[in-house]
Each structure stands twice: as structure tokens, then as C-alpha cells.
Amino acid sequence: MTSTILRTDFEKSVAAYWNTHRNDPVNLRLGEVDDLYHHHYGVGPYDPAVLEGPEQRIIGELHRLESAQADLLLDHLGPVEPDELILDAGSGRGGTSIMAHQRFGCEVDGLSISEYQVGFANDQAARRGIAERVRFHFRNMLDTRLPSGSRQAIWTNETTMYVDLGDLYREFARVLGFGGRYVCITGCANDVTGLRSKAVSRINEHYTCDIHPRSAYFRALADNGLVPIEVVDLTAATIPYWQLRARSSVATGIEEAFLTAYQEGSFHYLLIAADRI
């Protein structure tokens, strides 16, 4: 069974990373604030007063910025009706999926190649009593096994750096209905300078990922009938999150690489909303 889900050595190493990263205070302590466990970064200014208070205030503020990022993504996903179906491709510990269900009232399927993350996220849905409508599956987002045209909306929240974009958007174009919406938040490299940046290489090494250049997104979207309607450069909006995280007790050591990459312009934090035509 596993071999049909994890098809390459790269996918196996990515799954191993997420299956073994179970003691990650930067994600668990933030998630404990309100039981929304995220695996993405934050946007918006932080309140500098949190730096004067107890450490828990910094944790709460980082979590608020991560939830604001997920809210921003969902702002571009809707409207979604309660009887429509949506897909979280690379669903982590489930935070964005649960927020999407709370907002739209619809059923959500989340996919992850980490069995640990799938179990964690399903436990979260069960604890909230929404397991029948928010379901997480051990599956590869390049092969969702969902019926063609069955989804009104799909999102990827910082997960596309683990896959080939052509393969991914071919599958999304199949699964999305005509006029369906795709929203992506991602970090991508500046085509001119990014691929030679040491900071971008450090990020790739840290997470076992392969950051794509910005152009690769628009090429793969266009090749698969996904037409961007909005592109938001969130780079300036995410820098405060990294500055606050660098000063927190849950810093992991990758903060300086993100700050350098964003500030030198080799790396962009982007939201892309596209429609399936």
C-alpha cells in the first residue's frame, strides 16, 4: 500500500521528515493556543508590546499571525456553499482545513503523505465532533483518487515546493469543476537571482524541499487551464512574523535564512488565486 502512495525516494524522505518531526514546539505550542495546528508561516504586523510580557504572549502572537495567513487564503477561496466539496492538498496537522469548514460549513478532504500527520489531523477533527465532514487521508496530492470535476475549490498552503508543478496542476485541473477556484500560498525564488541564493539553498536543505522559481508557477498553471485572477506579493507582510519568531523561544534556526532571502529579494512570499477554465 505504502509504495503506491510514496513513489520516489524523494517522496519517502519528505514523508520521513514529517513522520519524525513530532516534537516541534514551534508548531505544537502555537497550536495549543486554540487547537488549530498549522504548518505555514504568518502575515501582518505584530504587536510590539508582546516582547515586554511573558513568553506565552509571543507564542500567542505568532499563532495569531499564522491564523491570519490561513484566513487570507480562505478569503480568496470563497464563496463556497455548504453542499460543495473542497480539498486541502498537503494538509499537515489540519489547521487550515478546520478553519475552512468553520467558515464555509462544507465538507473538506485533506491529503498528506505523512501517516503521522493524517492521524493527528483526524484526531483533531474527531475531538471537535466534525470528523464526518472534515476527513484526512494518507494520499499523494499528485494522485488524489478523487472523482473528476468533484471539487469546487482546492488550496495548497506552502506545500508546492515538494512536488512537480506540472504533475500537480494536471491533477488539480482534473479534480476541479469548471469555474472552480485554486488558491496557492507559497515561497518562490526570484527567477533572476533566487536560484543562486545561499539563503534559498539553506531553506531547501532545512525542510528537504525544492523551491520553484516564480515563473514555474505561472507556466504550469497556464499549461493546465488554471487562469490567475489575483496575485498578491505577501513578502513585506511576512517579514514581521520572521522577526518576531527570531526573538521567540521557539525559533528553530531557519529564521535568518528567511529574513535574508526576503530582504535580498531572492525569494518571494506569494498568494496566487486562479480559476479552472
| CB closer to ligand GPP out of 10 and 131 | 10
The residue among 54 and 253 lying less far from ligand GPP, judged by its C-beta, is 253
User: Which residues in this chain contact ligand GPP in the complex, by CB under 6 A?
Assistant: 24, 26-27, 39-40, 158, 161, 187, 203, 207, 209, 211, 252, 254
Please check whether residue 267 is in contact with residue 259, taking contact to mean a CB–CB distance below 8 angstroms: no
112 binds Mg ion (CB under 5 A): no
- List residues bridging with 112 in a β-sheet: 138
Least CB distance to ligand GPP at residue 173 (A): 23
Least distance from Mg ion to the Cβ atom of residue 112, Å: 15
Site for Mg ion in 174-233 (CB under 5 A): none
Question: Long-range CB contacts (< 8 A, 24+ apart) of 214-222?
Answer: 214/188, 214/189, 214/190, 214/268, 214/270, 215/191, 216/165, 216/188, 217/160, 217/165, 217/184, 217/186, 217/188, 217/270, 217/272, 219/165, 220/165, 220/166, 220/168, 220/169, 221/169, 221/182, 221/272, 221/274
Residues 12-31 that bind Mg ion (CB under 5 A): 27
CB 257 within 8 A of CB 199: yes
Considering the complex, state which of residue 7 and residue 22 has its C-beta at the smaller distance from ligand GPP. 22
Q: Quick one: what does residue 187 bind among Mg ion, ligand GPP, none, with the CB cut-off 5 to 8 Å set by partner type?
A: ligand GPP
Residue 91 CB, nearest approach to ligand GPP (Å): 12
- Binding site residues, Mg ion, CB under 5 A: 27
